[in-house]
Chains A and B, each alone.
Chain A
Amino acid sequence: MDPGFEADFREFIIDRSGALFRTAYLLTGDRHAAEDLVQSALAKTAVKWRGLRDPAAVEGYVRRVMYHEQVSRWRRRSRITEVPTGWLPDQIGDGYADMVDLRLTMRTALARLTPRQRTMLVLRYFEDLSETEIARLLGVRVGSVRSQIYRSLERLKKAAPELSTVMEFG
């Protein structure tokens, strides 16, 4: 095996696995699933490595594998496993506690979306990609990205009716 490959790939993992893990955690909502997703995407990238000399291209490739794998997951397993947050704040009445409540509600609602919808939201609102970029990455039409995101946001709003109250104060 090419010794340069070994060193480069190891360095890439050391540099970027943290960032890849964070995205994978948002995609899956579960630490173990996130680690598996990164691991599997890295393995697939290793095979392609020779054609990907540009470091920027490598990360793009790993991420694309991650997104695709996550999106196709729903065909194999219909449900995302979300580790529930053990503790719910019982003290309501200041803005901070309201916000915490609301974010917990959001997370529960996120867990109910399909992996495809959730992936699109992560790409749009965490990775800050445009709808066009998301469409290109996932190999779907822009219109489909737009409608899926719209539908997901509607579902989240429905799941969190408190949102309207917070919006008044916010």
Chain B
Amino acid sequence: MNIEDLLRETFSDMAHEEQPPPPGRFFQVDRSRSGRRGLALVAAAVTAMVVGLTFAVQGLPSRVAVPKDTGQGSGEALVEPGQGQTTLTVREGLRLSQILTQLSAATGKPVEEFNWAAKDGKALGLPAYAKGALEGFAFPATYEVSPTSNPDEILAAMVTRFSRAAEDSNLVDGARRLGRTPLEIMTIASLVQAESADKSDMPKVARVIYNRLNHTPTLRLQLDSTVLYGSNKYGASASNEDLKSQSRYNTYARRGLPPGPICNPGQDAIEAALKPAAGPWLFFVVTDRKEGVTKFADSESEFFKLAEEARREA
């Protein structure tokens, strides 16, 4: 291989690692330069589109009534309309895009405004180790929002809440003790959050991830949750086509951790990433999805038995 071919491959790799933003992103006026004539024209050209978007978001029913009996771990955001205040519970393990959609519904502001605000990592007060990306650092908790709160205020509050959680778990020191960066720990915590059917499994799931990373030779993580994130899909298992994707989140194809968190983990998952259980496991299988039973194995033959068990249950 010569330098020119290598360059071609590097470019082609890079071109596929970042998903282009939705075209609607370019219908937005660049606020910092909106005085310029050209930008004003772009804005004018697409007013109809943006107006349509705003209307749709305000039409969402979530500002009016959302079931109140949603406990922790349920799929819905808990929204209680109060006196101009709305209480919004963001549950653990959501992707940033899901959280932004919920915030948009709770405040009645277009999701585009949240997408915008989410990009300005510095203004949000993200720690340097987050490298400007909010995914993983929008901490799941209950927040009070009002229709007048700005998207950047709400997101900054979530980051502040994260910083407190990070202090509570001693994230930076704990990461150093494990020989990892805080971002790697948060990435592991997000995997633990996404892969654990039950809170009690978290320390063991974390152990499996470390054991695979530290194994000689390194074992690819092979976690479907990361592949699905890379393909912007949801579900329990990735399709064969997804497994072939070039995404940096494809842990079937690439070694080591994905480049960053795949969801926003809660305190339990962060704790598990910092204090994994002791054990030799290299595999885990959800053998009973309905009951949320996860079993662990330290050899391939055991793993195949568990996989077979899971197949029978399903």
A interface residues with partner B (beta carbon < 8 Å): 1, 5-6, 9-10, 13-14, 17-19, 21-23, 25-26, 29, 31-32, 34-36, 38-40, 42-44, 46-47, 83-87, 89-91, 93-94, 96-97, 100, 102-103, 106-107, 110, 121-122, 125-126, 153, 156-157, 160, 163, 166-167, 170
Contacts and interface: CB of A to CB of B under 8 A. Distances in A.
Interface in B1-21: 1-4, 6-16, 18, 20-21
B45 A35 contact: no
A25 B46 contact: no
A160 B27 CA distance: 41
Nearest to A11: B23
B161 interface: no
Interface string B33-49: 10011110110111011
A153 B4 contact: yes
23 contacts: A9-B42, A13-B23, A17-B23, A22-B15, A35-B21, A35-B26, A40-B30, A40-B33, A86-B131, A86-B260, A87-B257, A87-B259, A89-B256, A90-B218, A91-B216, A91-B217, A103-B6, A107-B10, A126-B8, A126-B11, A156-B7, A163-B3, A163-B6
Given A22-B20, A89-B218, 11 more contacts: A9-B42, A13-B23, A13-B27, A19-B20, A22-B15, A40-B33, A47-B38, A86-B183, A87-B259, A91-B255, A106-B6
A104 to B, nearest CB: 9
Nearest to A12: B23
Interface of B: 1-4, 6-16, 18, 20-21, 23, 25-28, 30, 33, 36-39, 41-42, 44-46, 48-49, 119, 131-132, 181, 183-184, 216-218, 254-257, 259-260
A18 B19 CA distance: 8
B3 to A, nearest CB: 5
Given A6-B46, A32-B119, A40-B30, A170 B1 contact: yes
A158 B207 CA distance: 41
Contact of A100 (B12, B15, B20, B255): B255
Contact of A18 (B14, B20, B36, B37): B20
Contacts of B27: 10, 13
A46 B131 contact: no
Given A22-B15, A87-B184, A36 B259 contact: no
Top-3 shortest CB links A-B? A170-B1, A18-B20, A21-B20
B217 A93 contact: yes
B242 to A, nearest CB: 19
B26 A38 contact: yes
A9 B45 contact: yes
Nearest to B215: A91
A83 B17 CA distance: 13
Given A26-B14, A47-B41, A103-B10, A10 B46 contact: yes
Contacts of A32: 119, 132
A17 B218 contact: no
B215 to A, nearest CB: 9
A1 B15 contact: no
Contact of A167 (B1, B255, B257): B1
A26 B7 CA distance: 11
A42 B184 contact: no
B45 A122 contact: no
A157 B132 contact: no
Residue from B9, B14, B183 having most chain A Cβ neighbours under 10 A: B14
A46 B38 contact: yes
Given A13-B27, A42-B26, A25 B15 contact: yes
Contacts of A17: 20-21, 23, 25-26
Contact of B45 (A10, A14, A31, A163): A10
B1 to A, nearest CB: 4
Contacts of B9: 103
A43 B38 contact: yes
